[in-house]
Amino acid sequence: MDRITLPERPEWRAKAAELGFTFADMHGEPYWDESSAYAFTLEEIEGRIEDPCTELHAMCREAVATVLADEGLMERLGLPRLRWEFIRDSWEAGEPELYGRFDLAYDGKGPAKLLEYNADTPTSLYESASFQWLWYEEQVAARVLPEGSDQFNRIHEALVERFAEMFAPDTDLHFAAMAGAPEDYATVETMAWAAREAGMGAHYTDLEKIGISDQGQFTDAEDRVIGTLFKLYPWEDLFADEFSAHLASAQCRFIEPPWKALLSNKAILPVLWQMYPGHPNLLPAFFADDTKGLADAAHLMLAGHVTKPIFSREGASVTITAQGRVLERATNRDYDRHPMIVQGYAPLPVMGGMRPVIGAWVVGETCVGMGVREDRALITQDLSRFKPHFIEG
C-alpha cells in the first residue's frame, strides 16, 4: 500500500459537472481528490481485503442467526421489541441482501481490522463504482497509469448481476432517499441504474412522500403502490417513524432486508468478538457496561480504545481514548443518547499527512470492490476525501 502523487486529469471538474457529480466539492472543501491515489499489490487486495471481507460477511450472517436466537442479545441491539418478529421473519424467509460496505483500518503491514459494517445504508457508491472507475480508465488512456495495472472495482457489474438474481425481469422497484441530500441521491440513482441494466423498472420517490393506501400498502408520490422498496434510510429510524406500524403488513419487500438492522448496529461488534475471539480481522469489542470483559481484555487494548454508540453515522459521537487521555472526540454528538460499545483502537496509518480508511464493498455475499477515504483527523467524518486507488501491474 502506497500513496502516490499523480497528475490530475485536466478536465475532471468539467466532467464531474457534466455527469451530475455535484458534490465533488462539499462544504467548500474538495471531496473527490485525485491529486494522489492509493496503490496496492494484487496479493494485498486479494489476501488482505477481498477474501477477508467475504469471510467477514459470512461471519456476520452467522452472527445474525446467533442474535436472533438469543433474547438477551436482541435486547442489546436497542431495536423496538414490537419489530423483532418482522426482523426475524425476513431472516427466516431468506430475504437476500443487496450490498454493504466494511470500513477497515489497514496499514499495508498487518491484517485489515474491521472498524464497522455499514450494512444498511452505505453511501459513496457513485464515487466508488462509477467516477473512480472512469478515473482509472482515463488515466490508463492518458498513460498516467500503465497497461497491466488494474482496479478492484467490480461493484457496478456485481450489482447488475445481483439484481437479476434477486428479482424476475421487469419487476418494478422503488428507490427512496430523503430529499435535499445530493450525496444520498447519487447513491440511490447509481443503484437505480444498475437495476435498470438488470432489466428492472426503477422509480424514484422522496422518502418523505411515501404514503399509505386504503389497503395499507405504501404508495409513492404519484400514488403508485410500492411492491419493493430500496430505502436509503436506516432501519432503526424507520422503526421510530409513524409508519412503522405498517411495515409488516404493507406486503412490501425491502432492500436492505430488515435483518440487516442487526449488522449495521455497532452492537454486532462485541457479538462478533464473542463468537470469533482473536480473529485476525476483528478488534476486541465489548458492551460499555461489560466491566469484567473490558478488564480481562485490558492487555489487548494497550493502544487505546474507541467508544461508539450502537447507532451512528459518519463518525458521530465517537471518542478515542489512549493512556487515559482523550485523543479525539467527534464534534457531532447527535447519537450520544444511545448505548455505547468499546472497541480496541487500531490507529489508521498516516500517509502524506492523511489517514486512509478502506471501504470494502460487499454485493450479495461477496466482496467485489473498494474505495478509500482519507481524513486529517483520527475519526473519519463527513469532511473526509474520497481517493481513487489502483492495483500495480
Partner 1 sequence: MKRSRAVSLGILGAAAFGLAACQQEEQTDAAAFPDEASCVAAAAQSGWFTREDCAATFAEAQALHAETAPRYESRELCEQEHGAGNCGGDTVAGSGGGGSIFMPLLAGYLIGQALGGGRAMAQPVVPKAGGGYATPTGGTQLSRLNSTGKMGTAAFAKGPTTVGQPPMTRAAVASRGGFGGSAATRSVGG
* Contact set for partner 1, span 166-195 (CB under 8 A): 175-187, 189-190, 192-194
Return all residues near 9 (Cβ < 8 A) that are at least 6 apart: 15, 34, 135, 138, 139, 142
Selected from 1, 63, 87, 207, the binder of partner 1 by CB under 8 A is 207
Verify binding: residue 257, partner 1, rule CB under 8 A. Answer: no
Q: Which positions from 71 through 110 interact with partner 1, judged by CB under 8 A?
A: 101
Selected from 147, 242, 323, 324, the binder of partner 1 by CB under 8 A is 242
345 or 361, CB closer to partner 1? 361
Compute how many other C-beta atoms are within 10 angstroms of the C-beta atom of residue 99.
26
Verify binding: residue 267, partner 1, rule CB under 8 A. Answer: no
Least distance (Å) from partner 1 to the CB of residue 129? 6
Cα Rg, the chain, nearest whole Å: 21
**Residue type at position 200:** M
Is the distance from CB of 318 to CB of 306 less than 8 angstroms?
yes
87 or 202, CB closer to partner 1? 202
Verify binding: residue 130, partner 1, rule CB under 8 A. Answer: yes
Selected from 3, 76, 83, 156, the binder of partner 1 by CB under 8 A is 156
**Residue type at position 122:** P
Selected from 202, 262, 358, 363, the binder of partner 1 by CB under 8 A is 202
Q: Which positions from 324 through 383 interact with partner 1, judged by CB under 8 A?
A: 332, 334-335, 369, 382
Round to whole Å and give the CA distance between 68 and 54. Answer: 22
Per-residue exposure over 330-342, b if at least 16 CB sit within 10 Å of its own CB, e if not: bebeebeebebbb
Q: Which positions from 41 through 70 interact with partner 1, judged by CB under 8 A?
A: 42, 45
Residue showing cell 430488515: 258
* Nearest CA-CA partner of 33 in 109, 172, 113, 127: 127
Q: Which positions from 374 through 393 interact with partner 1, judged by CB under 8 A?
A: 382, 391
Return all residues near 345 (Cβ < 8 A) that are at least 6 apart: 283, 301, 303, 304, 305, 306, 320, 321, 322
Least distance (Å) from partner 1 to the CB of residue 183? 6
Is the distance from CB of 222 to CB of 206 less than 8 angstroms?
no
Determine the size of the site formed for partner 1 (CB under 8 A).
83
Selected from 86, 233, 254, 273, the binder of partner 1 by CB under 8 A is 233
Stretch that binds partner 1, among 2-10, 18-26, 285-293, 319-327 (CB under 8 A): 18-26
Is the distance from CB of 367 to CB of 53 less than 8 angstroms?
yes
Least distance (Å) from partner 1 to the CB of residue 17? 9
Least distance (Å) from partner 1 to the CB of residue 102? 11
77 or 207, CB closer to partner 1? 207
